[in-house]
Structure 1
Amino acid sequence: MVSVLVLAAHLLSYAALTTASPTPRAASGYAPVPVTCPSSQLVRTASGISDAESSYIDQRYQKASQALKSWLKSVDEAFECRQCSSDGDSGSGNWSDWGSGGKAPVLALTSSGGGYRAMLAGAGIIKGFDSREANKTGVSGIYQALTYHAGLSGGSWLLSSIIGNNCPTISSLQENLWETTIQSSLLVPQILLSPQAAPIYSAVEVDIQAKRAAGFDISIIDPWGRLLSYALLSGPDGGVMDTMSGIASTSNFTSYNAPYPIITALGSNRLIDGTCIPQPNATQYEFHPYEFGSWDDGVDAFVNSGYLGTSFSNGAPTGSCVTHYDQLGYVLGTSSNVFGSICGPVPAANSTAVSSLTLVEDLAELAAPGQPGIPESGVFGLYPNPFHNYPSSSLVSAQPTLELVDGGVGIAYQGNPIWPFLHRENVDVIIVNDNSADTLTNFPNGTEMLHTYQAAAAAGLTRMPVIPSVPTFVSKGLNQQPTFFGCNTNETVTIIYIPNYNYTYQSGTSTNKIQYYANETDGMISNGVQTANRGGDADWPLCLACGIMKKSGETLPSGCATCFKEYCFN
């Protein structure tokens, strides 16, 4: 979670926008676009995953299960399926004798929040898991075996950069984008104020004005998401045309070569009961290529993500539909919205001197140029409520607008986006990569996993395995090595917990660090590769394979017994 004070200070140069006219000076690809509504149903009750997601998962699973089979065999021949067909068929027949369900486990990966630390460390995990990389590890191939990938905050930056660039390797992103854009981070005042950044000032100014002129409310998430996009997306003007729903048209998605992506955020109840800061039971929202919505009581509904921004009542559009509101930068900015914790109106600046601008003054000038300030709503990711007057959405049905924040904000914050997979019963194993800064040295200590367990128990979700208290977590060293949770119960998912650890680089960098030089980016990612591969431990690939297959019902290699003693938390 990124410090509001530090990041807002790094946005202060956007006072240059304060004298702008509310009329756009040029065309912008950022503004939402009115379109004729389709005849299909756009809002549905959350009775299961959508038909579109189900279809994608069916096709992705065929490739993922074959990749898992190949990787398992490379780790230990004892994993070879005894009744596999000999014709190379990638269907479920390859797993005909694996477990009572006769199928390979469905794997998901979660990438936690934690700013650029989480993004880069999480990127190293994927690089270590990806068989496309030139330098192989003992766990290369796991990425190809994933069916889902969820990201939150800094993890959403990572996931958005991957899917927004059509799923290249991490090496490609690192060399062709991140090493330059993060070193020249627009969040650094000296860079943002430089003459070289002037064209970006102008482009973002046009974007914000165009969205306002189209009749939509502006918040600080608009410039926040646009600035981040210049570091993460390689399309024209910082990927201004990229949308979450547009991911479904990219070639690696249509070929089912990528795990299904989910980005999460929390809802604020400010308009419901006055509690601006998210509480332990805050509504968990999820964005993905086909839908946006929540499984939680009081919302319990989803909308076609391509039509976010449309005015709905009782599930039907009240006029023309809107597209492009799901702009990818706005989505990743929403998932990393730490500014919602301000919880108050923001007055305008009373000085033009950079050195004297305060956080409050800067945010007011940023979101409302030339105005007396912004209302409290201006610190949230703002979405016209698609569940307005919708019967199943009793908690939010009276709200015209949903106000969203970073999932790592609030009381009992949850920095790991596990929640979506507690509602998807097809997911068997969740690899949780935790890059949180729970400790003074910016490493995880199990706090956020515990919060998810407590929230799941309170919500009656039984698929989350037991997570111990933080003192137990730390005393047993679970925060410094991989751990398997839920090994010995078929009622829960298996969580393979992989925390950030400084194997080869001091990876406990501050969440407030918003500039990484190329050597630092390389150090963080390289350390993440080592985290994925347990520092090169020769036994780790076998143990990871054993953890994934623990509940398969299959007779596992003899070495698995030792692995379970070392890694299973009982």
Structure 2
Amino acid sequence: MHLLTSFILAVGILSSAQAALSGYAPVPATCPGTPLVRNATGISTSESSYISARAPLASAALGAWLKKVNSAFSTTNLPAVALTTSGGGYRSLLTGAGVIQALDSRDSNVGTSGLYQGLTYQAGLSGGGWLLSSFAGNNYPTISNLETTLWTTAFAESLLVPDNLEVGGAYTQISADVLAKNAAGYPPTIVDVYGRLLAYQLLKGPDGGVAIQLSSITGFSNFTSHNVPFPIITSTNVETSTGVCTPPNNTVIYEFSPYEFGSFDSGVNAFTQTKYLGTSLSNGSPTKATCETNYDNLGYILGTSSDVFDELCFTFPLVADVPGILANISAILAQTHTLTFMDEYAIYPNPFYKYNHSTLVQAQSELTLVDGGESHQNNPLFPLIQPARSVDVILVNDNSADTSGNFPDGSEIYQTYMQAQLAGLTKMPVIPPSATFLSEGLNQRPTFFGCNDTSKITIVYLPNYNYTFPSGESTEKVEYLPSETSGMIANGGEVATMGGNAMFPTCLACAIAKKTGDTLPAACTSCFSTFCYN
């Protein structure tokens, strides 16, 4: 019997019993006593409290790292440092993992080790969002731990490959999860199945970590002890009601954090509590006696941030015509409804429906979200360049596939610079166009932007480059041999250290410490000459 046919029959037989046992479906809960929607006049009180408690720990760790690099560095008035990991599928996840490993004093012993402990924020989108979700959703183990206990096997037997669908019986349980969501009154889309398939590879625990919500990270020990940077995952919006199916470059950028979902962008300018995503709201108030929880399933959110199925657009084919894994995903959905092009999107009940401050989306009952890099801003910088967040330095690990060899060419971060100018976000330093990146080789080595302007954030650009492994893997590559997984991670460590360059940790420290305004070691003069753009 054909695999797809037998699978559909199995779903039909098992769905009703197993769906009742699923922990994926949203469930009613008592509404909180605090407002569910607020204006985006700053960061939330919860985030502010976290950052206040995190700051002294991050500052102490950053100071210790600076002193380790060069004892002449001052440790007073230290800046807030963030790390971002771009989109790019498993290529970005693995490269970004290597970058984290090289910064993490628990997991490496190189010149950059210890800087991760000094970070205040961490952001990811798409493949970078997978990395951040796997890291945070498993309570921030080391990269080595994730590699050996989860990723090596999961990536070698990726559930995004049709021949692997029944590994561990995952597909039957995933179908039950999706049917349970439908039974709860929330019609699933491709992103539900896709997110569950990814979660089995990224999250530990029964049924691919089905019990892990983004909001549940707030109860994890490394978060409650403020030992880790505050996590943010980004996505973008498509206004399908206007007759488009992919986002323009100036689309709204939404951010998910353990506390809130929303956007600082004009037209939305509001946030809601992440825990209660899925609740029906009107002008910020619940329309029912109860609110909903579990809609912020972490697998669904990491699937949202990497949803590129909108590129199928209005020509979304019939199930029989869909190739590869999408045929199997579509088969599950066909158990609940007739598929349309709307199944290409991650659907969220609009928390800003009829909310006065959200003029762009207040008439929409639903938000249709897609990959965070679909607006050609593949680095999740917008949340961190907001004036509401006092970030001083951002390490930008860009693993975009802009060139024919699947390496970055600077066009993604340049697009962010251009959109930041249009949005009046003046903290973004000047970024040159891709032609400059290519002609000056800025896409093949670290570069510091904003070195000499105290009004700007300093960006330390860390592009993917094949130092020790052919790291320009296609974004469409969804299965990695164990040797490929380890090779990609190791090469990511080289990206963080500039191929093990003996002077780079000092120069990285110079870029960060320059924000203090204090006297710097003499070695910084040469560093700035080498790495600072303009």
For the superposition of Structure 1 and Structure 2, which TM-score range results when normalised by the shorter chain?
over 0.9
Residue 242 of structure 1 aligns with an amino acid whose one-letter code is I
Determine the structure 2 residue equivalent to 1:99: none
1:274: how far off?
A: 2.0
Contact 1:286 1:294 in 2 (8 A): yes
**Alignment of structure 1 residues 33-72 onto 2, 5 Å:** 33-72=27-66
The secondary structure found in structure 2 opposite 1:465 is: coil
Determine the structure 2 residue equivalent to 1:149: 122
2:478 matched to 1:514?
Answer: yes
C-alpha separation in 2, matches of 1:359 and 1:229: 16
Determine the structure 2 residue equivalent to 1:296: 265
**Alignment of structure 1 residues 128-147 onto 2, 5 Å:** 128-133=102-107, 135-147=108-120
1:425: how far off?
A: 3.8
Determine the structure 2 residue equivalent to 1:100: none
Identify unmatched segments of 5+ residues in structure 1. 1-9, 82-94, 96-102
Determine the structure 2 residue equivalent to 1:307: 276
Q: Deviations over 1:397-452 (max 9, x none)?
A: 01110000002225xx1110001011144100010000111101011010100110
Determine the structure 2 residue equivalent to 1:265: 235
1:206: how far off?
A: 1.0
Contact 2:261 2:274 in 1 (8 A): yes
Contact 2:15 2:176 in 1 (8 A): no
Residue 531 of structure 2 aligns with an amino acid whose one-letter code is Y
C-alpha separation in 1, matches of 2:356 and 2:329: 36
C-alpha separation in 1, matches of 2:469 and 2:330: 39
Residue 403 of structure 1 aligns with an amino acid whose one-letter code is T
Determine the structure 2 residue equivalent to 1:209: 179
1:17: how far off?
A: 6.9
C-alpha separation in 2, matches of 1:18 and 1:343: 28
1:162 to 127, 132, 135: 135
Determine the structure 2 residue equivalent to 1:190: 163
C-alpha separation in 1, matches of 2:281 and 2:69: 52
1:12: how far off?
A: 11
1:256 to 204, 214, 226: 226
Q: Deviations over 1:225-273 (max 9, x none)?
A: 00000100011110000000000000000000111000000000112x2
Contact 1:11 1:189 in 2 (8 A): no
Determine the structure 2 residue equivalent to 1:418: 381
Q: Judging changes above 3 Å, is the alpha-carbon distance between structure 1 residues 138 and 16 closer, same or farther for their aligned structure 2 residues?
A: farther
C-alpha separation in 1, matches of 2:4 and 2:524: 51
Q: Deviations over 1:448-471 (max 9, x none)?
A: 001101111111111111111111
C-alpha separation in 1, matches of 2:476 and 2:7: 19
1:502 to 466, 483, 486: 466
Residue 420 of structure 1 aligns with an amino acid whose one-letter code is P
The secondary structure found in structure 1 opposite 2:121 is: strand
Q: Judging changes above 3 Å, is the alpha-carbon distance between structure 1 residues 120 and 15 closer, same or farther for their aligned structure 2 residues?
A: farther
2:80 matched to 1:111?
Answer: no
Determine the structure 2 residue equivalent to 1:122: 96
Q: Judging changes above 3 Å, is the alpha-carbon distance between structure 1 residues 407 and 350 closer, same or farther for their aligned structure 2 residues?
A: closer
Q: Judging changes above 3 Å, is the alpha-carbon distance between structure 1 residues 244 and 473 closer, same or farther for their aligned structure 2 residues?
A: same
Q: Judging changes above 3 Å, is the alpha-carbon distance between structure 1 residues 568 and 20 closer, same or farther for their aligned structure 2 residues?
A: farther
Q: Judging changes above 3 Å, is the alpha-carbon distance between structure 1 residues 179 and 361 closer, same or farther for their aligned structure 2 residues?
A: closer
The secondary structure found in structure 2 opposite 1:242 is: coil
Q: Deviations over 1:159-204 (max 9, x none)?
A: 0000110000001111111111111111112111x5x44x212211
Determine the structure 2 residue equivalent to 1:488: 452
Contact 2:95 2:489 in 1 (8 A): yes
Q: Judging changes above 3 Å, is the alpha-carbon distance between structure 1 residues 217 and 490 closer, same or farther for their aligned structure 2 residues?
A: same
Determine the structure 2 residue equivalent to 1:225: 195
Q: Deviations over 1:274-321 (max 9, x none)?
A: 222110110000000000000001100000100000000000111110
**Alignment of structure 1 residues 392-403 onto 2, 5 Å:** 392-403=357-368
2:252 matched to 1:275?
Answer: no
The secondary structure found in structure 1 opposite 2:82 is: strand
The secondary structure found in structure 2 opposite 1:276 is: coil
1:365: how far off?
A: 2.8
Identify unmatched segments of 5+ residues in structure 2. none
Q: Normalised by the size of structure 1, how large is the TM-score?
A: 0.90
Deviates more, 1:71-80 or 1:148-157: 71-80
2:368 matched to 1:407?
Answer: no
Percent identity, please.
52
**Alignment of structure 1 residues 533-548 onto 2, 5 Å:** 533-548=497-512
C-alpha separation in 2, matches of 1:539 and 1:269: 48
Q: Deviations over 1:311-344 (max 9, x none)?
A: 0000011111000100000000000001022222
1:19: how far off?
A: 4.3
1:237 to 207, 213, 217: 207
**Alignment of structure 1 residues 369-448 onto 2, 5 Å:** 369=335, 371=337, 373-410=338-375, 413-423=376-386, 424-448=388-412
The secondary structure found in structure 2 opposite 1:431 is: strand
1:219: how far off?
A: 0.5
Residue 224 of structure 2 aligns with an amino acid whose one-letter code is T
Determine the structure 1 residue equivalent to 2:152: 179
The secondary structure found in structure 1 opposite 2:72 is: helix
Q: Deviations over 1:365-422 (max 9, x none)?
A: 3423274x31222110110000000010011001110000002225xx1110001011
1:284 to 228, 232, 253: 253
